[in-house]
Amino acid sequence: MENKDQEKESLYLKIMPYLEKYGILLLLVIMIVVMHFLQPDVFLSWRNVTNVFKQISWQSMLALGVFMVIVTAGIDLSVGSIMMLSLMILAIVAKAGAPWYVVVITPLIAGFLCGLFNGLGITLLRMPHPFIMTLGTLYIFRGTGNLISGGTPISGFTDEVRYLGHGRIDLTWLGLEKSQYLPVSLVLIAIVYIIFWIFMNKTRTGKWIYAIGGNPNAARASGINVNKILVIVYSLCGFLSGIGALILAGRTDSGYPNAGLQSELDAIAACIIGGASFFGGRGTVLGVFAGVMIMGILRNGLNLMDVSSFWQQVLIGSIIVLAVYIDVLRRDLGTRK
């Protein structure tokens, strides 16, 4: 009897980690299959699939940044504003006639500096919670973006500047048709996500980010410089928002005041759907990717089926609640009380 119980338990121990790691991918696959049956001609067509990736391209950058922040049990509400400010700076620098390689690098530096500002504010000013600091900078950065641009759109960038967001990799050499190209933004998503997967899972700094989220006192007592790691995390989050700005510049060919409005909420939603815990220390880069994809596919699928965008809001909200409830159930089973 006892043996059987032990066998059951060890089987459970073997399966749980995989379910925890890859369960969300299962949900993604199910969604893809369902959408395929609902829209067999369109959904998995080359055009539509690349469209989904183009649509999620800049959101996926914000989500990845917010994810790292959430792992530390923090939150960054300012990513949308960081992206908007970086985009406006890019537009102004471009309009001033700077060479493309300068234009391309400005949003990255601007985003990084905004994130650094958040990180230093949270640690040096000893804000009671990152929510407060980043709520403040949500207004500060967007206000600054409007101040420097006069609150009007600035349009027209060169092809080099637009490459990441708008570029196409021709695949005719593979015998494919001209319309079957690979968006550069898809390749960029893959590269950035792989780099950050390695960073979070294989490097010591990545492990410390998880440790801080798991138990900040343990991290501090272990001699980890918690504040330094937090500043790094918020800076990287800003940097990724800067990449988002560069992609958006390519997609829209314009810097505009409403860029990234409320996108911080989409980024947080993607992290939560992807299994990141608000209490910190839990979640995977793969999960965030799945979360971004799920939101992207849901929007795309509902658009294809001509469902009102109001329903999209209701459905995304419901998925957030459902995803977290599943997580609650899982944790009840998984850990000792």
Partner 1 sequence: MSSINQLLLEAKSVTKYFGTITALENVNLKIHAGECLGVVGDNGAGKSTLMKVLSGLYKPSAGSLFFDGKEEILESPKDSQNLGLEMVYQDLALAGNLPIGENIFLGREPTKNIGLLKFLDYKKIKELTDAHLGKLKINVKSADQKVEELSGGQRQAVAIARSTAFNAKVVIMDEPTAALAIKEVGKVLDLINSLKKTGVGVIVISHRMDDIFAVCDRVMALFQGTNFAESELSKTSRDEVIGWIMGKK
Residues forming contacts to partner 1 in the complex (CB under 8 A) are 13, 202-205, 207-208, 210-211, 213-215, 217-224, 281-282, 334-336
Q: How far is the CB of 112 from partner 1 (least distance, A)?
A: 17
- The DSSP secondary-structure symbol of 255 reads E
- Single out the residue of 216, 86, 228, 233 nearest to residue 145, CA to CA: 86
Q: How far is the CB of 106 from partner 1 (least distance, A)?
A: 24
Q: 41 near 277, Cβ under 8 Å?
A: no
3 state DSSP class of 331: helix
Q: How far is the CB of 321 from partner 1 (least distance, A)?
A: 23
CB nearer to partner 1: pick between 1 and 221 = 221
In sequence order, the β-bridge partners of residue 225 are none
**Which position has the token pair 């390749």?**
187
Q: Quote the tokens at residue 279.
A: 């209490």
Q: 133 near 77, Cβ under 8 Å?
A: no
- The DSSP secondary-structure symbol of 291 reads H
Q: How far is the CB of 191 from partner 1 (least distance, A)?
A: 16
In degrees and rounded to multiples of 5, residue 56 shows phi and psi of -85, -5
Q: How far is the CB of 308 from partner 1 (least distance, A)?
A: 40
Q: Quote the tokens at residue 192.
A: 């950035």
CB nearer to partner 1: pick between 70 and 245 = 70
CB nearer to partner 1: pick between 165 and 287 = 287
CB nearer to partner 1: pick between 20 and 253 = 20
CB nearer to partner 1: pick between 181 and 199 = 199
Q: How far is the CB of 226 from partner 1 (least distance, A)?
A: 11
**Which position has the token pair 């314009």?**
254
d(CA 9, CA 257): 55
CB nearer to partner 1: pick between 47 and 228 = 228
H or E stretch including 254?
strand 254-255
What are the distances in angstroms from CA 300 to CA 36, 189, 252?
Answer: 12, 18, 18
Q: How far is the CB of 211 from partner 1 (least distance, A)?
A: 5
CB nearer to partner 1: pick between 225 and 258 = 225
Q: How far is the CB of 243 from partner 1 (least distance, A)?
A: 20
d(CA 192, CA 90): 21
DSSP secondary structure string for all residues of 41-82:
TTTTSHHHHHHHHHHHHHHHHHHHHHHHHHHTT---S-HHHH
CB nearer to partner 1: pick between 244 and 275 = 275
**CB 219: neighbour CB atoms within 10 A?**
20
